[in-house]
Amino acid sequence: MKSAKAFFNWAFSTRAKSVMKIYNDEPITPEKMFLSFCSHDPTFISHGPAGLNGSVKGIGFMPKPEYLEETLEAYIKHIKTYDPEDKTYSKRGLGVLIKYMYGEEAHDRVDFTHIGSLEMAKQHSYANYKANPEATLLFYQPPMISFEVRGTMHIYDETESGKREIYQQFINAQHDMYHTPDMSRWLKYPAYVMDIEEIYDNSATKDGFGVKLEYPIPAEKE
């Protein structure tokens, strides 16, 4: 059985390389920049009281639980330096992201058992996942690459739980590391954290067309 490492190489490693190129001011063609976003914006499939639904949302990987607090602390420290007149904010944010997530020395810190996202609309997906956490994420990169990730969706919403939700804070903070930050809106955007259970290669290739990939990935022998 083919390993699901093929998915993570595409979804995480390719993105990490793009982050490094942007940080190092290396040229990236508009076409390659567009294609790099395909691993960031899958369609979230849900089914529940709002009906069968598909919604495109941005996703990201997160640190393993033991690294969440220290990484969030580093993110918030950077976010608090924001000044609208300071044009270096985004690049400095990329530097922090490389240190804690995307740099080669940080890869052992990354949690490849979950995928995170934010809910900005609180409409169909939100209603469905609250009632039925069964979820599928469908990725597609023209002309042929496609992966399907199945699992269970968890919602972290401080306005409903009444307690601190570190995943909600973390995913909002990770978004604000590069974009204009606004910590006051974090409560408005609940977090999705999906437990990855199955991964399929749906690419239009001889190894794809719905082939189930081996997951979890077996530990490499030393």
Overall average pLDDT of the 114-118 stretch: 98
- Cβ-Cβ contacts under 8 Å for 183 (sequence gap 6 or more): 76, 79, 172, 176
pLDDT in tens, 21-58: 999 999 988 888 888 889 999 999 999 999 999 999 99
pLDDT in tens, 150-178: 999 999 999 999 999 999 999 999 999 99
Confidence band for 222, pLDDT divided at 50, 70 and 90: very low
User: Which residue segments constitute the domains of the chain, with CATH numbers given?
Assistant: 5-212 (2.30.110.10)
Contact indicator for 176, 79 with CB cutoff of 8 Å: yes
Please tell me the distance from the alpha carbon of residue 172 to that of residue 46, in angstroms, as a whole number.
22
